[in-house]
Structure 1
Amino acid sequence: MTTFFRDIAPIAYEGPSSSNPLAFRHYNPNEMVLGKRLEDHLRFAIAYWHSFAWEGGDPFGGQTLVRPWHPQNRMETAKLKADAAFEMFDVLGQPYFCWHDADVRPEGDSFAESLRNFEEIIEYFEEKMASRKVRLLWGTANMFSHRRWMSGASTNPDPDVFAYSAATVKTCMDATHRLNGENYVLWGGREGYETLLNTDMGRELDHMGRFLNMVVDYKHKIGFKGTILVEPKPQEPSKHQYDFDAATCFGFLQKYGLENEVKLNLEQGHAILAGHSFEHEIATAAALGVFGSIDMNRNDYQSGWDTDQFPNNVPEVALSYYHILKAGGLGTGGTNFDAKLRRQSLDAEDLIAAHVGGMDICARGLKAAAAMLEDGGLEAELQARYAAWETTEAKSMLASDFDTIFADVISGKINPQPKSGRQEVLENYVNRFV
């Protein structure tokens, strides 16, 4: 055990009037919303990498966060880090957590040594989870930090790196399965290019497609019942990443016959980097039938890069959850806080307060989204706007051809007049709830 969180009591719900910075004001896990507990709607998860493995560095400066488990290069400190993590889970009471392999175990001098370290810490997790409610939302492999991944993992020009990637993902899928994880995520952090001068894009895409098919085959071989998720991101660290956004990923999945096997884990910050809103990415994935899970965070809109800050914008969050609820909810997915402290936020209390605030923002957003759905105002406007498509004439037109349609238009029978989209009215409507 550690003393890192020793002065922080388990977080309780105290209601909107509370001024306690370490209390929930809006997130009451047992509150019923649309017939389901709020905890079951939101399915919160803590990201092991940002909360425990990140040391506070940025492109212009090194470590600022000094923790009892630093340096993170020995099994003793890996277990101390796990002790602190599970103590934090006890404080926050969220139902899930997530990890990369490199977050939880020290790197060995060989693959075999790294695997021994990994298996030892997974056994340690298993022991801790046995006496707690916290579960694994998903596991994943870090195939972007070490120098071996500098030219990609499954897309690497060196077949030996492809092989190393396959072995790495196999071990992470095995560990996820062992811990009864509900999903397995692949984020291709280096699956892209820095320059087309040295890139055979067609070959790299084919290799990535083959790799993902291997992942799906192995899922079925070991009997893993969870969902395979791919996480889109347009850039950073690569100049251009192949998993650019939800639509790009869907096209990739279709080309390699995976659209019925793989869904998407969408991140707010990545949506912004792609030039989209988070609600756009969620609505796109839902419309294409591949929505799976979310990483909740935000970017600093003045910085122009992926700052991974905790969410604090209720209207943005509400509209995101509106589309999630319309799509039937998170399913096996969850709300993972892929978010980190600012590098000058040094204390254990900062880490707890960041998650408390994020969970409250998400609770406010989801409750606002649920209220809009129950009220039905947006859905009524949609039905009214597209009502003409429900007529016999419109359905007949869709089943006809250009010559038939041309005849109707040239005869003067069809002469469309524009109608207001009522955007400002709808924006005012949303503001009533948020």
Structure 2
Amino acid sequence: MSHFFSDLAPLTFDPNADGIAFRHYNPDEIVLGKRMEDHLRFAVAYWHSFAWPGGDPFGGQTFERPWFGETMKDARLKADIAFEMFDILNAPFFCFHDADIRPEGASFAESERNFREITDIFASKMENHKTRLLWGTANLFSNRRFMSGAASNPDPEIFAWSAATVKLCMDATHALGGENYVLWGGREGYETLLNTDLAQETEHMGRFLNKVVEYKHKIGFKGAILIEPKPQEPTKHQYDYDVATVYGFLKRYGLENEVQVNIEQGHAILAGHSFEHEIALANTLGIFGSIDMNRNDYQSGWDTDQFPNNVPEVALAYYEILKGGGFTKGGTNFDAKLRRQSLDPNDLIAAHAGAMDVCARGFKAAAAMLEDGLLEAERGKRYAGWKTPEAAKMLSMDLESVAKLVDVDGPGPQPRSGRQEILENIVNRYV
């Protein structure tokens, strides 16, 4: 043991605890016929928890971690600390990018050797620890070679490098029993149309994604392939702006039955939507996969990746997830990082424990709302007119035939209240 976390014992569910503990998240509590842990499927993000040094655009590193460095010794220590933290949190899952877990080599071959060594360490640790891999992904954005994108890059050599990196990460995710593989297009977009061929770049992205799906089937990977929608970060325009944009892209390239979405709360807000809207739309389109749970600072207008602390927001998100049948291979990944002033190791544990409690409170509220059925009953009343045979028949009639159904001499139909405030009051009974 490294004792990095001050010999902190594994956290337990104790509503009356004085120190760090779970006060709302009881992994064994049965909700809607299933353990809460199996519903929520929490995951720790390797990058923010163990790789981010605490910098921002106006200041450099604030965190001091014993594994910060560019050697394999540092990477091995980082893996040791990570699994210590997973044990303390009793975390069922974790997620990683390749660049989070290994130092960059002087060549692709050296980076690959470094990566494989650490994934072998992960495999060994997973034999003796509870935590499993929710998903793996490739970092195709940090290195300067990706400044103009990866699959959408104008240089074919970088397209090939990106393909080789994704293949390597897919192989590792498959070998480690990962339940999903995520394509995170950090720089798949453009700064100006003056130097951009939209048609060519989107076509290359479509072909790249088809190759990923083909390779998934070739190696027998049973997990889901996920795209994470993200707007205006960091480029002016992103090709994978939101759920609707991603779905249009998937339809264009015949992948709507092969690829799902990993939706992040912060990205949903930056796209001008609510988190629950993006989840509901993904369920409606049949492409919902998983979520990154975090929040933005609503004063900053940027993706600040903060741990969740708003129970009503979380409740509405989980309500839409439960309405869609809940997670299958997906889960709740904390794509969140400490504030730069939160320097102590135990801040990292406290942040995750608090976030897990917030999610548990929101989830239980969502489950109660769904079980009581008041919202769905109100929704049913609003659309009740479409239950009649006459109304249902209209959808299969031509426009002229529907027009003939109007009583042209009558006063015309009158609107009915949408009862929004009443529905909001119902939600407030639970949260």
TM-score range, shorter chain: over 0.9
CA distances 1:379-434 after superposition (whole Å, capped 9, x unpaired): 00011000000111111221212222222225336821010000000000000000
Measure the CA separation in 1 of the matches of 2:323 and 2:74: 44
Given that 2:87 and 2:130 are in contact with CA atoms closer than 8 Å, whether structure 1 keeps it comes out as no
CA distances 1:78-131 after superposition (whole Å, capped 9, x unpaired): 000000000000100010000000000000000000000000000011111100
Counterpart position of 1:260: 257
Measure the CA separation in 2 of the matches of 1:64 and 1:198: 37
Counterpart position of 1:328: 325
Match of 2:311 among 314, 334, 343: 314
Counterpart position of 1:417: 414
Q: Is it true that 1:405 corresponds to 2:398 in the alignment?
A: no
CA distances 1:287-324 after superposition (whole Å, capped 9, x unpaired): 00000000000000000000000000000000000000
The within-5 A match list for 1:272-287 is 272-287=269-284
Measure the CA separation in 2 of the matches of 1:38 and 1:410: 54
Task: Please list every run of 5 or more consecutive structure 1 residues that lacks an aligned counterpart in the other structure.
Answer: none
Q: How many residues align?
A: 431
Taking structure 2 as the reference length, the TM-score comes to: 0.99
Counterpart position of 1:92: 89
Counterpart position of 2:384: 387
Measure the CA separation in 2 of the matches of 1:336 and 1:407: 53
Note closer, same or farther for the CA distance 1:343–1:394 as it changes in structure 2 (3 Å cut): same
Match of 1:176 among 173, 177, 191: 173
Measure the CA separation in 2 of the matches of 1:158 and 1:20: 57
Taking structure 1 as the reference length, the TM-score comes to: 0.98
Given that 1:408 and 1:414 are in contact with CA atoms closer than 8 Å, whether structure 2 keeps it comes out as no
Q: Matched residues, percent identical?
A: 72
Measure the CA separation in 1 of the matches of 2:365 and 2:170: 36
CA distances 1:337-363 after superposition (whole Å, capped 9, x unpaired): 000000110011100000000000000
Measure the CA separation in 2 of the matches of 1:127 and 1:367: 35
Task: Please list every run of 5 or more consecutive structure 2 residues that lacks an aligned counterpart in the other structure.
Answer: none
Q: Is it true that 1:132 corresponds to 2:151 in the alignment?
A: no
CA distances 1:254-300 after superposition (whole Å, capped 9, x unpaired): 00000000000000000000011000000010000000000000000
Secondary structure of 1:69's counterpart equals coil
Counterpart position of 2:9: 9
Given that 1:21 and 1:353 are in contact with CA atoms closer than 8 Å, whether structure 2 keeps it comes out as no
Measure the CA separation in 2 of the matches of 1:407 and 1:254: 35
Q: Is it true that 1:77 corresponds to 2:70 in the alignment?
A: no
Secondary structure of 2:430's counterpart equals coil
Letter in 1 for 2:428: N
Secondary structure of 1:432's counterpart equals helix
Measure the CA separation in 1 of the matches of 2:385 and 2:137: 47
Q: Is it true that 1:239 corresponds to 2:236 in the alignment?
A: yes
Match of 1:46 among 44, 47, 52: 44
Secondary structure of 2:405's counterpart equals helix
Measure the CA separation in 1 of the matches of 2:355 and 2:259: 28
How far apart are residue 19 of structure 1 and its match?
4.8
| RMSD across aligned positions (CA) | 0.9
Counterpart position of 2:371: 374
How far apart are residue 133 of structure 1 and its match?
1.1
Measure the CA separation in 2 of the matches of 1:431 and 1:19: 27
Q: Is it true that 1:149 corresponds to 2:146 in the alignment?
A: yes
The within-5 A match list for 1:212-227 is 212-227=209-224
Counterpart position of 1:200: 197
How far apart are residue 6 of structure 1 and its match?
3.4
Counterpart position of 1:55: 53
Secondary structure of 1:263's counterpart equals strand
Measure the CA separation in 2 of the matches of 1:169 and 1:36: 35
